[in-house]
Structure 1
Amino acid sequence: MLLCMFAASRIALQTSLHDESQSVQRQLTLHAQAMLQRVDRYRTLPEVLALDNQLKDALTHPLSAAEVDKLNRKLEQANGASRASTLTLIDKGGRALAASNWRDSHTNVGEDYSFRPYVTQALSHGSGRFYGIGMTTGLPGYFLSQAIRADDGSVLGLIAIKILLQELEGEWLQSPDIVLASDEHGVIFLSNRDEWRYRLLQPLSAKDQQEVQDTHQYADQTLQPLSYRLNQTAEGRGVLASFSQPQLADPVLWLRMDLPESRWQLHLLHDISHNQSTSHWAAIAAGGLWLAAALLVLYIRQRQRLAALRQRSRKELETVLHQHAQELRTAQDGIVQAAKQAETGLSRSLQHLPQGVVVVDPQLRLVAWNSRYIELFRYPPELMRVGQPIETLIRHNAKRGLLGKGDVDQAIQRRLEHLRSGSPHLHESAKGDGTVLEIRGNPLPDGGFVTSYADITSYKNTARELRNLADTLEQRIAERTHDLAQAKQEAERANRYKTRFVASAVHDLLQPLNAARIFTSLLPAYLQDDAGRLLAQRVDKSLASQDAILTSLLDISRMESGQLEVHVRDFTISSLLEVVHNNFALQAEHEGLSLRCIPSQLVVRSDEALLRRILQNFVSNAIRYSHKGRIVVGCRREHRPNGDHVRIEVHDQGPGIPPALQKEIFEEFRRLDEGHADDRGTGLGLAIVERLGKLLGHEIGLRSTLGKGSIFWVSVPLGNAAAVAPTLQEPSPSTRSDSPLQGAAIWYVEDDPPTRDATCALLQRWGCKVLLAANAPEALAHAQPGNAPQLVLLDVHLGQLYGPDVYAQLCDRWGQQPPVILLTAEGDSTLRRQAAERGWGFLAKPVRPPALRALMSQTFLRGREGGNQ
């Protein structure tokens, strides 16, 4: 049994640790991705600032106080847009010329940083990176540096950015595990537990100690050793370890992961107490099974012995039962006989009973009793004698008030008549001192009556306490139900506040992002070298990725708050498949893939825009995670109890998705590592797909095989073909006019200066005449009869003013209503519908230049057609 228990315990522990190791490894991968994303967010900022001509010029000559102030303000503005900690301009001697924290008491300006590795690395290799505690601010951070070169290639100085990672530690606090990050020396510099920070995984060599001291990497922090013992290697990638300093009560599962490009390691210490508990239960179960088998064998043998004895014992059992029945029949006769033979009336046969017992003959005279009967009623000795009428005892009790209120004689006669009738009875009676008696009476075969009195006071008290406890529990349940209802209301209010906060935050973030994207769209026209264009493309991709994340967050917020309207109608699916093919064919070809959309004339019932969003996410993911082969989009009819449906499927030949991750990928910020290096996705696409499926009532599904590919599908109900009206294809704007924007007079009303400047530059590049670009008060002051433009570009939120109200005032002053296009960072469906009803254009920020140009061209061409008619 012990061997069986030991083997089961070891097998269960190894199996549990293997599964646990895989789960913890995925968690560690998510922490690593979050850490790399935080660093990647600021990676390109030093590269962009290194190309700035103003910074280059500042490193070529001594700076005046005015020039230093101007540089400080420039770096402060750049730092405010990127949310970095500090931006510092350093000359090739290591002295800080300007910094974004010039207003702080601990400013970097004038400090010597020549001993810092990120300075020496940038001066010698062009770029550098270093983690340490700031000598000026005393705050730890991650430093990224980029050399600033002259036109001849010589190094003039460098620009450095310091990134704070304390927010990352705050996110780690939500994990029940211990999360650590160590540098190349084995020093733990990040942790979600304070006592683990600045500890050594192994002793520092003399060279490493000297390097840490020379660079002042950890300032005055004392680096204490980490005391641990490795117990064994677990199944998977982890090891079991016990820690004594800092002390952990139980062994933990220790997993490590190397972070690329940094020589850092990420560690995760996971509690395995439940795995050990599983091992113990497995041992107990194995021992129980072994014992059950042994007991089964013994039981079978016992059954065999019992079968041999059954026949022999049957006659003996019948004899015993006959004797027992005879004894029961004569028991009452024996009690009466024993009472008659007793001189005092006390029966030895009744003395062992816990109840008080009294026996009367047919003439209702005392025959026998026990001492418990005398104790219960406290009768005087002179009353207790054989032959005493029972009426004397009842009358004695009546004088003491034991018969209750009312006529005493009637109560006595009622009890005597009941005894004479010989009817059995059972009832309860409460005495004045609180004692409760259960009175049970039965007639004797030859006449007379036997009555027993049992004290059930404790039973009654217990029952009363149980009733009180039940009432108390019901009251507590009601209170807890009320508390839960209040907690639910508070949670719902918090969820509504969170939704409003996300929508507001995304709106504020989209404003500067809109200007940045428009500026980057203009950069290629001003850059002559390939390196500059490549850098501009990288910046645009980074902004596009940020745009996708914010747009996705806004969509999720709108869906959670119920602001996303659904317009369900019948339409042919062929047009939807054609749009998907046109949007992604070139992208797939660029990635070396073949995209094919199989035509279909089926009619479905859904919201066309939202269904197109689902398919676009499926196809985009297929392109992102497939490295070769083809992608096929097709339809398959299916019969269901609730009606016929069409299942639209997207097939790819990617790496496939493990079964354990097929549910997790539909969660927010969950993504796989197999995507293209420059397009890893935001991790929100499939989360939006799942929410859109629930909103439309469409089932979303996935089938995947590792190494062969995946199939994502959405099931849509069939529609009514007769309800779909044939549509005539309108000629494209390009066939009507070659350049409808050339020389067009435009007013642009926007309260955000960067966005206004970027959009004006874009409009002028298209050949438009921007007659006015100002905020709402300036536009109202400039509007006069007769100076109305051909088109008005109008922001919806103009400080305290509302865009459509400002447009109405402008039209009153012009005396006419020129076409207008509304621009907003909020995807308000109500405003979009109102704009469509009034014939206004509508674009959501960040505005994409191709979309703006197409809508403006369409507006001008529609105006010309209206004039011709």
Structure 2
Amino acid sequence: MHITRKHRSTLLLLAVGGGVMALAMSAAWHIAGDGSLRAEQAQVQRQLDLYAQALQQRIDRYRTLPQVLALDPELRAAVSQPEPARHDALNLKLERANSVTRASTLTLIGRDGIALAASNWREPSSNVGRDYSFRPYVRQALSEGSGRFYGVGVTTGEPGYFLSQAIRDEAGAALGVVVIKIELGALEREWLSTADIVLVSDAHDVVFLASREEWRYRTLRPLTPVDRDELRTVRQYADEALVPLRLEILRELGPDARMARLESPPLAGPVLWQTVALGENHWRLHLLHDAGVVGAASRSAALAAGGAWLALIFLVLFVQQRRRLSAHRQRSREELETVLRQHAQELRTAQDGLVQAAQQADSGLSRSLEHLPQGVVIIDAALRLVAWNSRYVELFRFPPELLKVGRPIEDLFRHNARRGLLGPGPVEDSIQRRLDFLRSGKPHLRESEKDDGTVLEIRGNPLPEGGFVTSYADITSYANAARELRSLADALERRVEERTRALAEAKADAEKANRYKTRFVAAAVHDLLQPLNAARMFLSALRGRLRDDDEREIAGHTDNALAAQDAILNSLLDIARLEAGTLQTRVRDFRLEPLLDTLGREFGIVAQSRGLALERVPTRAVVRSDEALLRRILQNFLSNAIRYTPRGRILLGVRRDGAALKIEVHDQGPGIPERLHTEIFEEFRRLDDGVANDRGAGLGLAIVERIGRLLGHPIGLRSRLGRGTVFCVTLPCGDALAADVPEPAAAADPGADSSLRGCEVWCVDDDPRVCEATRALLQRWECTVGLAGAADAALAAADAAGAPDLVLLDIHLAGDLDGPALYPRLCERWQCRPPVILVTAGRDEALREQARRNGWGFLLKPVRPPALRALMTQLLLRRG
């Protein structure tokens, strides 16, 4: 009967304990799970905030760029009056701006939505000429002033974020749009470092940024027909297939958080899906975090609760068992008495230590503080002295009778006040402030300088049971070193400011001198070309009248000398234009073979006359460059090779250099020492071993180096003494399809050989020598010269009955009028518009373009008579 009751009570205890344990495990499961879920949500929210901040910062870095470009006068002029001739310059401007900002693409779009210029104009997938009027960012900018849009590029096929800004005229009307495209792929690559899944969706809940490829272009909700029509109209995602996302919501945790299980794309377990709204076009940033840690925390808490209840049950069983083991009570009592005796011994030992400490404190000087380098003083809660060390006595030179255990610290303060150590001000106020601070029990750290220059670092800390311990450290050497370092830093800073100011002034002076030099060279060359132009015209008229062969030979030598002088002056003018940045470029794709073939035939004749052989390797290469400027570079290479090669052969060819091409000119001359490789590209630098009587002016390679820098084509040089030299220029490959587009054909010249007999010509120029030379040349061609004089004489002689057949008009005239301004006034008096040829010594591309638009002729001084005759004949035939 007794055994049955014992078993029944044990079973009942186990049953009750098991039920309570199950409830405890369930409660622990939910409590721990909820706590872990809240912690994970907070962590995920912090990560979302960081990702959102990084995305916003990347976009904000470029946000002001379209606004700045929209104020650019060149871009505003391009969209207000589109001129195809200026598009290359705009492309280069946007390309340079894009290389600095490191965006994806910069595009200038007209009011009609057609791209006028773009930074990717060199690429096969260039934006130039494309219609973007259907894009939202274009419509938004034209209507609202700015726009934002993310989508796949219809030209490049690359996704990006587009920021646009309207270009407005003075009245506020939109003239065009500046667009910057930002690639956000770098963010996706940064997200790969996390195990979580990061997504960004647009207003249609379409995922367009994702840390995993299979999540991109997934729809988070079914798209309505209106959504699909809008996406199809603006071609936001081009031809990308938008696949729905399949998931099961396990638990809603709030408006922006949920527990979910993903079916497509599949994930192994449930995830915590948390979302935050972004300010860009109703975007939302999503983070999918593995929820396995929440389940693990719940399981651990449940197991811990179950283990605790099992331990409690076993403890109860153990207590019951101890009740049955009365035989062990006596042994337990003896063990307890032993423990009490040990504690009593420990208490007696602690009491002896307290007594010894009290005896040491009576003397005030604490041996435990003597090893410290700082002066230390300890006071109790009543602000009385307890202990100090000898260093404290040395620092303040206290008399021995003043330092006693139990003396108020206020007495020491008064003693220092009498010696002036508490600083200026009322003594009682200073003492009271110090006492109040000690009573407050707040730690402090400060520095104090004594009259003898000693600097003390005073550090005070309260004691747990009341009272205060204060240390005084002598930091005089450190303070002096800090003052010296500050003085040295101030002096260095002043010297740096002075040097920086001097360098800035020197740089400004150098730039100013360079501008003066460039303007002086251009003006000087212009003035020198005026008499040279007259001399060549006089010589051309004279040669037509010479009959003796010797006289013709002398005239030919004179013409050659003038031509050489002409080349030198033109080279100087080219250098001035390159340094001033006014030389215009026309970069396009073209086939290289026609240019090399022309150069080979032209210089082959010159080389053959010198007894040299010029060989050329045919090529099928297509390059991207300015054909005219590239021709100048190669002409200088070939002329130098012929000039400095006494015998042998010269080779012209092309070789591949990775993704670029190198055009090389090899000669078998004496070679160039390595120490001169840099100097030969300077102005007027010539070698002394050229062919006799054929040394150049030393300007050709200087022009080559500057043209190379302007076009971005590196100039190279290799040479071996006694073996020869190789000059090369490196340039990018071009697009064969673009190179095959034919250039606009030049106007035909059907009347180049026609006679000018009886044609009345006016010559308007301020230089009398030029007028007389032109008159002599025109009369030799049997023309009638109605006037050869200045602008005032032309205005005085012009009337409705005496209009000439053709006008030769100098651009630079004395007074307020120039050639293009004088011509309309003459036409008003003539009541007709005869053909006109503008003549100038300045290489101004704007004037050349103006003449082309108006159908005027354009010639550069010094004028070559054959070119003048051909152009006059062409204009007269065209008029007829």
TM-score of the superposed pair, with normalisation by structure 2? 0.51
Query: Residue 835 of structure 1 is aligned with which of 847, 851, 857?
Result: 851
Change (3 A) 1:486 1:637: same
Whether the 8 Å CA contact 1:603–1:718 is kept in 2: the answer is yes
The one-letter code of the counterpart of 1:858 is Q
- 1:600-638 deviation per Cα after TM superposition (whole angstroms, max 9, x unaligned): 444332222212211221222122222223333333344
Change (3 A) 1:722 1:779: same
Query: Residue 851 of structure 1 is aligned with which of 861, 864, 867?
Result: 867
The one-letter code of the counterpart of 1:495 is N
Structure 1 distance, partners of 2:837, 2:548, is 36
- 1:708-753 deviation per Cα after TM superposition (whole angstroms, max 9, x unaligned): 32222222323333333346988985x8664433443322222211
CA RMSD of aligned residues (A): 4.5
Is residue 2:734 matched to residue 1:719?
Answer: yes
Structure 1 distance, partners of 2:440, 2:630, is 91
Whether the 8 Å CA contact 2:600–2:616 is kept in 1: the answer is yes
Secondary structure at the aligned position of 1:797 is classed as: coil
Change (3 A) 1:348 1:581: closer
Structure 2 distance, partners of 1:774, 1:585, is 44
Query: Residue 540 of structure 1 is aligned with which of 559, 569, 573?
Result: 559
Within-5 A mapping of 1:361-440: 370=390, 373-374=392-393, 376-384=395-403, 389=407, 391=409, 393-394=411-412, 396-397=414-415, 402=422, 427-430=445-448, 433=451, 436-439=455-458
Is residue 2:571 matched to residue 1:552?
Answer: yes
Cα displacement (A) at 1:660: 2.0
Structure 1 distance, partners of 2:497, 2:673, is 47
Query: Residue 589 of structure 1 is aligned with which of 605, 608, 631?
Result: 608
Within-5 A mapping of 1:621-636: 621-636=640-655
Is residue 2:518 matched to residue 1:499?
Answer: yes
Secondary structure at the aligned position of 1:823 is classed as: strand
Structure having the higher Rg: 2
Structure 2 distance, partners of 1:349, 1:637, is 84
Structure 2 distance, partners of 1:731, 1:450, is 103
Is residue 2:596 matched to residue 1:580?
Answer: no
- 1:346-374 deviation per Cα after TM superposition (whole angstroms, max 9, x unaligned): 9999999986577999998678854x644
Cα displacement (A) at 1:578: 4.0
Cα displacement (A) at 1:468: 5.2
Structure 2 distance, partners of 1:725, 1:369, is 98
Query: Residue 786 of structure 2 is aligned with which of 771, 775, 785?
Result: 771
Is residue 2:700 matched to residue 1:685?
Answer: yes
Secondary structure at the aligned position of 2:658 is classed as: strand
Whether the 8 Å CA contact 2:361–2:386 is kept in 1: the answer is no
The one-letter code of the counterpart of 1:834 is Q
Is residue 2:716 matched to residue 1:697?
Answer: no
Structure 2 distance, partners of 1:411, 1:549, is 89
Give the fraction of aligned pairs with identical amino acids, expressed as a percent: 57
Q: Name the structure 2 match of 1:620.
A: 639
Cα displacement (A) at 1:691: 0.9
Structure 2 distance, partners of 1:696, 1:799, is 36
Structure 2 distance, partners of 1:431, 1:633, is 83
Structure 2 distance, partners of 1:426, 1:836, is 85
Secondary structure at the aligned position of 1:798 is classed as: coil
- 1:673-712 deviation per Cα after TM superposition (whole angstroms, max 9, x unaligned): 2222222111111111111111112222222232332222
Query: Residue 798 of structure 1 is aligned with which of 804, 813, 817?
Result: 813
The one-letter code of the counterpart of 1:843 is L
Within-5 A mapping of 1:101-250: none
Secondary structure at the aligned position of 2:850 is classed as: helix
Q: Name the structure 2 match of 1:752.
A: 767
Structure 1 distance, partners of 2:717, 2:824, is 51
Secondary structure at the aligned position of 1:511 is classed as: helix
Cα displacement (A) at 1:778: 2.1
**How many equivalent pairs are there?**
514
Is residue 2:659 matched to residue 1:659?
Answer: no
Is residue 2:815 matched to residue 1:784?
Answer: no
Whether the 8 Å CA contact 2:839–2:861 is kept in 1: the answer is yes
Whether the 8 Å CA contact 1:740–1:861 is kept in 2: the answer is no
Structure 1 distance, partners of 2:670, 2:430, is 99
Q: Name the structure 1 match of 2:135.
A: none
The one-letter code of the counterpart of 1:430 is S
Structure 2 distance, partners of 1:726, 1:454, is 89
Change (3 A) 1:600 1:729: farther
Structure 2 distance, partners of 1:382, 1:728, is 113
- 1:430-455 deviation per Cα after TM superposition (whole angstroms, max 9, x unaligned): 367575423579999xxx99976443
Is residue 2:842 matched to residue 1:826?
Answer: yes
Change (3 A) 1:594 1:756: farther
Gapped runs of 5+ residues in structure 2? 1-352
Q: Name the structure 2 match of 1:262.
A: none
Q: Name the structure 1 match of 2:823.
A: 807
Structure 2 distance, partners of 1:774, 1:392, is 109
The one-letter code of the counterpart of 1:826 is G
The one-letter code of the counterpart of 2:574 is D
Change (3 A) 1:569 1:353: closer
Cα displacement (A) at 1:670: 1.2
Moved more, 604-613 or 592-601: 592-601
Q: Name the structure 2 match of 1:307.
A: none
Structure 1 distance, partners of 2:758, 2:609, is 36
Secondary structure at the aligned position of 2:640 is classed as: helix
Gapped runs of 5+ residues in structure 1? 1-332
Q: Name the structure 2 match of 1:761.
A: 776
The one-letter code of the counterpart of 2:684 is F
Whether the 8 Å CA contact 2:459–2:472 is kept in 1: the answer is yes
Whether the 8 Å CA contact 1:391–1:416 is kept in 2: the answer is no
Change (3 A) 1:846 1:381: same
Whether the 8 Å CA contact 2:752–2:870 is kept in 1: the answer is no
The one-letter code of the counterpart of 2:715 is I
Whether the 8 Å CA contact 1:426–1:438 is kept in 2: the answer is no
Structure 2 distance, partners of 1:678, 1:524, is 25
TM-score of the superposed pair, with normalisation by structure 1? 0.51
The one-letter code of the counterpart of 2:448 is A
The one-letter code of the counterpart of 2:775 is C
Q: Name the structure 1 match of 2:662.
A: 647
Structure 2 distance, partners of 1:617, 1:472, is 54
Whether the 8 Å CA contact 1:748–1:792 is kept in 2: the answer is yes
Secondary structure at the aligned position of 1:636 is classed as: strand
Structure 1 distance, partners of 2:745, 2:376, is 108
Whether the 8 Å CA contact 2:708–2:714 is kept in 1: the answer is yes
Whether the 8 Å CA contact 2:753–2:870 is kept in 1: the answer is no
- 1:768-802 deviation per Cα after TM superposition (whole angstroms, max 9, x unaligned): 33333222222232333343333221111221231
Change (3 A) 1:822 1:373: same
The one-letter code of the counterpart of 2:838 is L
Change (3 A) 1:593 1:764: farther
The one-letter code of the counterpart of 1:710 is T
Whether the 8 Å CA contact 2:422–2:430 is kept in 1: the answer is no
Structure 2 distance, partners of 1:566, 1:546, is 26
Secondary structure at the aligned position of 2:516 is classed as: helix
Change (3 A) 1:718 1:355: closer
